Structure 1
Amino acid sequence: MSLPFGATLFTPIESGLGGMMIGAAAAMAYLIDGRITGISGIMGPFLRGVAKCEPLKEGQLWKMLFLVGLVGGGMISLGLNWEFSFPPAPPMSFMRYLLAGISVGIGTRVGKGCTSGHGICGLPRFSLRSWISVPTFMGVAAGTIAITRHALKSDGTGYSPRLAELQWPPQWQFPLGAFLGSLCLIVLCVLLPDKFKMFMSPLSSGLIFALGLGASGMTNPMKVMNFLDFGGYWDPSLGFVMGCGIFISGPAFILAEQMGKVTAPLVEGCKFESPPKKGNYLPLVIGASFFGLGWGLIGLCPGPALASIIPKLITGSWGSPWTPDFCLAMAAVVICVSWIATDRAIQFVSVQTQPPSAESAEEPKGQTV
């Protein structure tokens, strides 16, 4: 099917299966290891540990294995599903990619979460912070799309406002195969002894998460931006990603919330992470707004950014330098750099505002969402 530049197809089957994999990865990480799969809350502290030359200290090994799985899943998607998972990036200026990367990095660290932590994990936990953050960053992202695409007409899209056409028959081969493979990985991790489970579980969680991103279309920035274009060419596929993801992750979080006082994750010695559900609303709204701005500018959030780094570096190295794919990969790198810089800034401000007798500020207990 021939489509004008920037148009995407409505893919409820593919996106629904991908969302179920993302939700399964979140449920698996929480029930087996007690971990929240907020990507910014995993990558940010891990990078800080690397900067301190302590990459494997205090839970860092789990984060590293999850991130290895996330990158590996992106490579599998590139090899088996590249046309859908990693189509050419939108031809935007490098400055736009740079600004978006900075905004996403700052926003997700200040607001302590993004689409995965606040959306897939926070909403089913009935976290008030997440129920404030998600509408905030989605509203700002939609407003950004409305301004850049319709008011300024800076995206160069060549189609009239309408609902995206349905992809039929669905391209079900990769999503279904990845979904069935993910189920096998989950069963394997549950059955393994703890001494193997503690390594296989985070690796598998990251891998399944990335496969879900690739199968659902979350790694296609134009598909994300078309979802956020509620008043223009609207592709509702990513609604199926969020809905199906929460459909799978929700029961796991609800069960763990109810049973957390009498039971523990499957891996011996682990505890359920329980980030605060209320309070600190001003930084939350500011961070969510920054994230929404960056998300709306280029359609990239932390999980897809990390899964896309190597694939986009590979595809972006073909032809002339500074291709859109290469700029997208650089935006993902900028997100990581912004995480580190924002962490340093938050710690500096915390130390300066504390009484002399107070201990130095550290990362709040509990995974960020």
Structure 2
Amino acid sequence: MQQSQGLLRQRDVCHRAENSSLIDFSHNDYLGLANSIELTQALFDGATTYGVGSKASPLVSGYSAAHVDLEQQLCRLTGHQAAMLFCSGYSANSALMSTLFTQADTVIADKLVHASIIDGIQHSGAKLVRFLHNDLSSAERLLAKHPNSVLVTESVFSMDGDKAPLAELSLLCKQHNALMIVDDAHGFATSRDFEATSRVADVQVVTFGKALGCQGAAVLAKQSVINYLVANARHYIYSTALSPANAYVAHSAIKLVQQQPERITRLHDNIHLFKELAQQSQLPLIASLSAIQPVIVGGNEQTLSLANMLAKLGFKVGAIRSPTVPKGSERLRITLSASHQPQQIHQLVSALKKLMIDCSGEKV
């Protein structure tokens, strides 16, 4: 049934870019660091120094100097008092939500927050209420109805690629004595202003598997919040710690971004070029200024078919289908990277325009 409806999820073997004929526009490696020589060497150096595994949970013997160095670096970078590391963004969000909240709490969340946030809140037993996506009036109504609560949003939304009005939401939270938690997975390290989110967020979640090109995540907050999480977050207490080698790589990735700011410049140049070409070709884009550029197709089968046709032409893109996104808004999720060449972006837009014309029988 799932396969006939274009809903079956399957795994595909991903090959390194240099060994593949496909130009990859599906990954979240926004700064092109995942295959960089510098991080490859950092992984070797980290494994040589600390070993390849942490061997235990952080509260037993799995918390090393590599973890401490990364946490302190993140705090210096963002201005938060303390940090704690997780193996993935999903576990960080889930642990944060399920540990901080109880049945006595109300959590106000943007309608489009990540599944890990929703799962964590539901596991906590807290009351979950949702405001309309990026709608300040809707958020204000719920904050007024539930003062002294918590508001949760993302900085850059993973499916639509649009950005939350963080400054405005923060002001509303202050007016209603509410805390603000920001999942900064897709925003962190894509701007030279590393303190932009921390200036407005009481708690910030960052991941290393997007712009930093490696693995892991961190929760950043006041020392008291981190102390509570360390003592009570079951994900943290009962899981083997992030490997010290990966912590060392993340530390190196942050230094590399600071040393090579031209990577961020190239990323934003590529975003601008794609948007300009797509608009000229009248492709049905969702408004986004981030590296995530969704092209609306509509229909699971149509979206999957178009992604497969693009693959035959040499381009790998994400086919995002319902129920991940609302029915009727199925889309190709095109993600841009500093590693993409302008010629490749021109070729992608040209191929996409032709295919959409051929599929619709008329000009897009």
TM-score bracket, normalised by the shorter chain, equals under 0.3
TM-score of the two chains, using structure 2 as the length reference:
0.27
Q: Per residue, is there more helix in 1 or in 2?
A: 1
TM-score of the two chains, using structure 1 as the length reference:
0.26
Structure number with larger C-alpha Rg: 2
Q: Per residue, is there more strand in 1 or in 2?
A: 2
Q: Which has the higher contact order (CA 8 A, sep 6+)?
A: 1
